[in-house]
């Protein structure tokens, strides 16, 4: 690349853009690696394996992201960003139709041709989770201007009704259990390529006559190259603590997760590749990859695979399919419908349906 610049294959403006992209990308990578290194040491130093509360916070919400194996932090190009990486709410979104032929205006700073974002956006997801646990998610985002977005969300999981038994085995009626989280999100585009975001959450848990609550923070950063093809992202979720435990004498840690992601849309091929590396505080690190085929726009086909599947393998033949996922999306005017299927081997399968709208 440097030799081509010296030989005059690029104009002065193009050389400036390439150097600027390289410098910002280098600084972003350094920042991401430093944060990952620090957080991994904190996570490794803890003894939280299997001990964290509010496990529902670890369940992937968006049908689009989960169809791609959950590898979405470096893409974050729709309202799934509310849950996955809040930095994506204000980040520029490149249209699939013009990424290959976008151009620069004759001005000091190149102009990126980007897909317009609606002033108001809404997302709703329903998940029929394992063991018939019912999960729902509602989110709303308002774009205050071209650089700033605010959002709000509600995340709910109902575990159903259970029989209550005494120590001697006598049945004493039934009880219910549920979890809920409320979030307020803020995202800001710092430059044409770099955006940041944060979500403040209040979390509640209820099991029979016992309850607990907590506060948490999600932080995200997203960098997209000027070409509109490549993205780098980092998200730290569930950074917080319990205010009140289920019992007075004990408080559980939250399921802290550090997630680094990469996305790239292939040149000359309507396919976007994504990958994530996830470091959870209560489990081993794992890797996920995914992809989206876009040649049938407005119909999109998605596939993914995650190594998190090792947690639910039982030694049966179905283990070969554990961690695989797939799905599709369909866009009609301002409405987007997404569906995903995820295999959890012998534990069962999970179906997700997401509806998004701009208005």
Residues for the chain: how many in total? 359
Q: What is the pTM of this model?
A: 0.81
Q: How many structural domains are present in the chain?
A: 1
Listed as ranges, residues in the chain with pLDDT below 50 are 1-16, 18-19, 38, 41-42, 44-46, 95-115
Which pair of structure tokens corresponds to residue 241? 């603590």
* Contact in structure between 241 and 217 (CB atoms under 8 Å): no
At 13 the three-state DSSP class reads: helix
Taking a C-beta distance cutoff of 8 angstroms, is the pair 24, 190 a contact? no
CA–CA distance, 1 with 7 (Å, rounded to integer):
10
At 205-244, the pLDDT tens digits run 999 889 999 999 999 999 988 777 899 999 999 999 999 9
Rounded alpha-carbon distances, angstroms, from residue 9 to 99, 101, 102: 22, 19, 19
Which domain, by its residues, includes 11?
2-163+171-358
The residues with which 292 forms a beta bridge, in sequence order, are 272, 302
Express each pLDDT in 81-118 by its tens digit: 999 999 999 886 654 444 444 333 333 343 444 445 55
pLDDT value at residue 225: 87
- Neighbouring-strand partners of residue 337: 330, 355
Domain of residue 38, CATH code = 2.40.160.40
Give the whole-angstrom CA distance, residue 196 versus residue 334: 25
Q: Is the dihedral of CA 309, 313, 315, 320 positive or negative?
A: negative
Angstrom distances, CA of residue 354 to CA of 46, 234, 331 = 35, 24, 12
Dihedral over Cα of 65, 69, 75, 76: its sign: positive
């Amino acid at each position: 690349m440097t030799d081509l610049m010296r030989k005059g294959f690029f104009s002065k403006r193009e050389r400036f853009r390439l150097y600027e992209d390289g410098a910002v990308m280098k600084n972003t990578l350094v920042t991401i690696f430093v944060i990952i290194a620090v957080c991994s040491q904190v996570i490794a130093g803890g003894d939280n394996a299997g001990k964290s509360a509010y496990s529902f916070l670890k369940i992937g919400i968006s049908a689009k992201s989960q169809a791609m194996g959950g590898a979405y932090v470096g893409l974050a190009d729709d309202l799934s960003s509310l849950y996955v990486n809040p930095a994506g709410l204000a980040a520029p979104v490149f249209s699939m139709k013009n990424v290959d032929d976008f151009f620069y205006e004759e001005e000091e700073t190149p102009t990126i041709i980007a897909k317009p974002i609606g002033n108001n956006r809404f997302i709703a997801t329903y998940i029929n989770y394992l063991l018939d646990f019912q999960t729902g998610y509602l989110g709303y985002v308002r774009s205050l201007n071209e650089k700033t977005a605010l959002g709000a969300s509600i995340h709910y999981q109902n575990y159903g009704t259970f029989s209550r038994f005494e120590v001697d085995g006598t049945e004493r009626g039934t009880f219910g259990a549920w979890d809920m989280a409320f979030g307020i999100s803020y995202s800001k585009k710092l430059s044409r390529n770099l955006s940041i975001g944060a979500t403040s959450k209040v979390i509640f848990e209820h099991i029979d006559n016992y309850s607990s609550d907590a506060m948490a923070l999600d932080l995200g950063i997203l960098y997209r190259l000027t070409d509109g093809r490549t993205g780098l992202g980092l998200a730290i979720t569930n950074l917080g603590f319990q205010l009140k435990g289920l019992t007075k004498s004990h408080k559980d840690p939250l399921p802290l997760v550090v997630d680094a992601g990469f996305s790239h849309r292939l040149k000359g091929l309507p396919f976007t590749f994504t990958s994530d590396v996830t470091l959870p505080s209560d489990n081993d690190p794992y890797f996920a990859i995914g992809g989206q085929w876009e040649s049938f726009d407005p119909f999109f086909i998605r596939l993914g695979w995650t190594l998190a599947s090792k947690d639910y393998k039982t030694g049966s033949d179905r283990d070969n399919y554990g961690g695989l996922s797939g799905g599709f999306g369909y866009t009609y005017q301002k409405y987007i419908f997404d569906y995903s299927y995820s295999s959890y081997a012998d534990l069962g399968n999970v179906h997700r349906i997401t509806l998004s709208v701009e208005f």
